[in-house]
Chain A
Amino acid sequence: MTATTPTLPPAVRGDTSAPRRDRGRGLRRLVPLLPALVLLALFFAGPMLWSVYTAFTDAALSGSGAVEFVGLANFDRMLHDPAFWNSILLTLIFVVGSAVIGQNTLGLLLALLMRGRNRVTRNVVNGLVLAAWAVPETVAGFCWYAFLHRTGTLNELLQHVGLSQNWLYTAPMVAVIFANVWRGTAFSMLVYDAALSDVPPELMEAASIDGASGWQKLRYVTLPLIRRSIVSNLMLITLQTLAAFGLIFVMTGGGPGNASQTTPLYMYEQSFKFYELSYGTAMALVLLVVGALFSAIYLRLIRLED
C-alpha cells in the first residue's frame, strides 16, 4: 500500500518544505478512502460508541423520558441477577458444545477424511455440507423445529422404540447445539480443507518413512503445520456462535422457561420486551469481553510463534 503511488520529483511539484509535502501526500491518499471512512464512522463506530455510552445510563425504550448516567449500576445488577448468570453459563455450553467441539472437530474430521478421495465423493459431501450452510438461519431453525417437534420426523422414526417426545422441551440445549453444528460445520470444513492442502506432501512422506503411524502424523506433522488456521477458525466460529440469536429464537424462543436462554436471547428480552435498553447494551459489552477472553485462551493454548 505504501510504495505503489508514483512520486514526482520535488522540483516538478513546486513544493519545497519536506514535512508539508509528506502530509499533503498522506492527505491525498486518504481522499479516495473518505466516503468509506465517513460511512464506517457513522454507521459502525457510531452505534458502537452509542451502545457503550448507553450501557452506563438508564436509557429505556419508553417510559420515563430522561436518560441519566448511572455509572456501573447495570453491571452491578448483572452480578446479582441469577438469570444473567444462567444465560452466560448456557452461552458457554452452547459455544463450547456447538462451535469448539462440534463444528471445529467435525469440520477438521471431514476435511481429513476428504483428503485423497475421488472427485465424486468430494463433490457430494461438499455439496451436502455446504447446503446446510447456505440455508438461511430462520429456515434452518424451522427445519429443526419441525424435525424435533413432538409430531415431527424424528419422533415418527422413534415411535417404534417408544422414545418419542418433544425434544425441544426435554433437551432444548442439546437440540440447539445439534442444529448449530449441522449448520456451521461447513465453514470449518472449508477452512481446514484449504489449510490441509498447504501441508507439503514431502513432510508426510518423510514421516511415513520414519515409521510414524497415522495418528502420529496427524499429531506431530499436520496439526502443528495448520495451527494458524486452527486459531483463526476457532476465533471466527466462537464469535459467530457467541452472537447466535435467530436459530435459538426460532427453535425454542429461549424456553422452556429459560432453559435455552443464552445471553443474546436474554439481551433481546430485556431490551425489547421489557424496554430496558441500557441493561441489554451493558450485557452486550460483557459478551464482548467474553469473546476477547476466548480469543486470549486460544492464543495461549496454541502458540503461534515457535
Chain B
Amino acid sequence: MQRRSTALLAGLLTLTLSATTACSGGSGGDSDAKTLTVAYQKFGTFIQMDDLMNKVKGEYEAAHQGWTVKLVPIEASENDYYTKLTLMNRSPNTAPDILYEDTFLVNTDIQAGFLAPLDDYLGKWADWSQFTDASKAAAKGLDGKIYGVPMGTDTRALWYNKDLFAKAGLPVPWQPKTWDEVLSAARTIKQKLPGVIPMNVFSGKGAGEAASMQGFEMLLYGTADTLYDESSKKWLVNTPGFLDSLNFIKTVYGEKLGPEVQDALDPNFGTRLNSELIPENKIAIDLNGSWQSGNWIETGAKPWPEWSKVLGQAPMPTQNGQAPGSTSMSGGWVLSVGSHAEDKQAAFDYVSLALNKENSLAYDIAAGQIAERKDVAEDPKYLNSNPTLRFFTDLVQVTHFRPAYPEYPRVSNAIQVAMEAVMTGQATPEQAMATYGDEVKAAVGPDKVSG
C-alpha cells in the first residue's frame, strides 16, 4: 500500500511538473531551426506594421521552402510594448528572431545582449547603399557596429492654422526666424483673438516623452547646447541653452500663450488637441510631429479633410536664427535580429526582404513615415502621397537624435519634472535647472556628468 502511494505521488509530481513546464516554455520557442519568430507592435490605429509583416511572411515562405514565419504581434501602447518586448528578450526560450525596435532603446538592448550585429550581412546587401548616412547611424552601437535596418523616421516642426493667422493679421505663409518671432506671433494671436489658445508646446510629466522631445528638445537643440556630449561621453547640465529653453516654457505658460496649465498636464491632453482643439480652430500654433496628419486623413482617428488647406507648416527656428536656421528632432524604428536567433542569415534575409524598395515604399506611405531609402524618397508615388511629406523630409537635413543610452528614460523624466516646475511656477528656471542637474547626477553617476 505504501509503495502504491509512493508511486502515485511520483506520478502526480511528474504530471504537475510537466504540465507547468509545458505552459511556461511553450510559446515563441525557436527550438526548430526552420522557424523565424517576428515580434512587433500592433496597437489601436497602428495596424500598418501588421499589414507589412503579414505580406512579407507570405513572400518569405514562398521563396524559402521549408521555412515557417511565426508572427507575434504585441498589442500594447508604446511604453508597454518596450516592457513586453524586453521581458520576451530576457529568456532565450521566448526571444524573437526578428524584432521591431525603437532607435532610442537600441543601445540599451545591445548592452543587455539582446541584439546581433549585422555588419557582415549588410556588407553583402546591395540595397544598403540606398540608405541615408543619418539613418545608417540610427542603430549604431557604441562599438561602432550596426544593429538594425531603419524602417522610416519622423521630424518635428511648427503646425499653424492659416485661417486664424489671417484673422489676426499675421502673414501667411509664416516663417519665423527666431524664438522671439514665434513668441510675438503668439502674443498677437492672444491679443487679437480672445478664446483661441495661441500656441501649444507639450510640457510636464502628463505629456510624457512628447514633452521632452516635441517640447523641450525642439528648443534645446536650437541653442548652442545639447543634452549629451558625444566626444567626452558626458551628460551636460547647467548650460545656458538649457536655461533659455526653460525660460521659453516659462514665457509660454506664464504669459498664458499656451493652454491652461491644468489642461496641459492632463495625460489625455494630446488626444484632445488632435481630436478637438486643432480641427475646431481653437489653437493657432502647435509644435508637433510630422505624423500629425495621420490623425485627420480618412482612415485616421478624427477625419478632417480640410486639414491640408487650413494648416500650414513652418520649421522650428533656432534660438537667434543662427545657422542652420532651423532645427528638428527625429525618432524612428528599425528591424533588428535577435542575438538568440539560431540562423542569423535567415533572419537577416527576412529583414532585407521586409525593407526592400517595394515594401519600404508601401510601409512609409501607409504609416506616414519619412523615407530613409533614397530610392523611396525620390519615388513620385511617395512624394504625392501626402502634401506635407516634402516639407518634413527636408527637415532631415537639420534634425537631431536623442542620446540613445540606457539612462535616457530617467534623464527624460528629469526634463519633464523641470518643465513642470517652471510652468506651474513652483520653481524659477534657475532652481529647476539645479534640480535637473542633481537628478541627472543621481541617475547616471556624477562621473558621467559635466557642468
Contact = CB atoms under 8 A, between A and B. Distances in A.
Interface string A17-60: 00000001001100100110011001000000000000000001
A38 B409 contact: no
A61 B5 contact: no
Contact of A274 (B16, B87, B204, B410): B410
Nearest to A64: B111
A215 to B, nearest CB: 44
B151 interface: no
B88 to A, nearest CB: 11
B31 interface: no
B112 A62 contact: yes
Contacts of A256: 204-206, 262, 265, 420, 424
A42 B13 CA distance: 13
Contact of B413 (A65, A150, A272, A273): A273
A42 B135 CA distance: 46
Contacts of A257: 204-205, 417, 420-421, 424, 426
Nearest to B204: A256
B112 to A, nearest CB: 5
Nearest to A169: B262
A42 B21 CA distance: 10
B205 A150 contact: no
Interface residues of B, number: 43
A34 B406 contact: no
B114 A38 contact: no
A247 to B, nearest CB: 15
Given A256-B204, A257-B205, A275-B406, A166 B16 contact: no
B79 to A, nearest CB: 6
Query: Which of B1, B8, B426 has the most C-beta atoms of chain A within 10 angstroms of its own C-beta?
Result: B1
Contacts of B13: 34, 38
A150 B105 contact: no
Interface in B70-98: 79, 83, 86-87, 89-90
B300 to A, nearest CB: 23
Interface string B239-268: 000000000000000000000011101110
A63 B262 CA distance: 35
Interface string A159-188: 000000110111000000000000000000
Interface string B111-155: 111100000000000000000000000000000000000000000
Contacts of B22: none
A291 interface: no
Given A13-B1, A62-B112, A272 B83 contact: yes
A51 to B, nearest CB: 15
B205 A64 contact: no
Contact of A39 (B2, B20, B89): B20
B80 to A, nearest CB: 8
Interface in A249-285: 253-258, 269, 272-275
A210 to B, nearest CB: 58
Contact of B206 (A149, A253, A274): A253
B9 interface: yes
Contact of A150 (B263, B406, B409, B417): B263
Given A27-B5, A150-B263, A256-B206, A62 B105 contact: yes
B420 A35 contact: no
Contacts of A38: 13, 16-17, 20
B206 A255 contact: yes
Contact of A255 (B2, B79, B267, B413): B267
B286 interface: no
A38 to B, nearest CB: 5
Contacts of A255: 204-206, 265, 267
Given A257-B420, A273-B409, A64 B112 contact: yes
A220 to B, nearest CB: 50
Nearest to A59: B90
Contacts of B424: 256-257
A45 to B, nearest CB: 13
Contacts of B426: 257
B323 interface: no
Contact of A31 (B12, B109, B114): B12
Nearest to B89: A62
Given A13-B1, A38-B16, A272-B79, A169 B109 contact: no
A160 B86 CA distance: 51
Contacts of B1: 13
A60 B89 CA distance: 13
Interface in B15-29: 15-17, 20
B108 interface: yes
A272 B86 CA distance: 10
A49 B265 CA distance: 39
Given A61-B86, A62-B114, A63-B108, A170 B16 contact: no
Given A24-B5, A28-B5, A253 B267 contact: yes
7 contacts: A38-B13, A62-B112, A254-B205, A255-B206, A273-B409, A274-B409, A274-B410
Interface of B: 1-2, 5-6, 8-9, 12-13, 15-17, 20, 79, 83, 86-87, 89-90, 105, 108-109, 111-114, 204-206, 261-263, 265-267, 406, 409-410, 413, 417, 420-421, 424, 426
Given A62-B109, A63-B112, 7 more contacts: A28-B5, A38-B20, A64-B111, A149-B266, A166-B263, A254-B205, A256-B205
The 6 closest A-B pairs by CB, nearest first: A169-B262, A63-B406, A166-B262, A38-B16, A62-B112, A65-B113
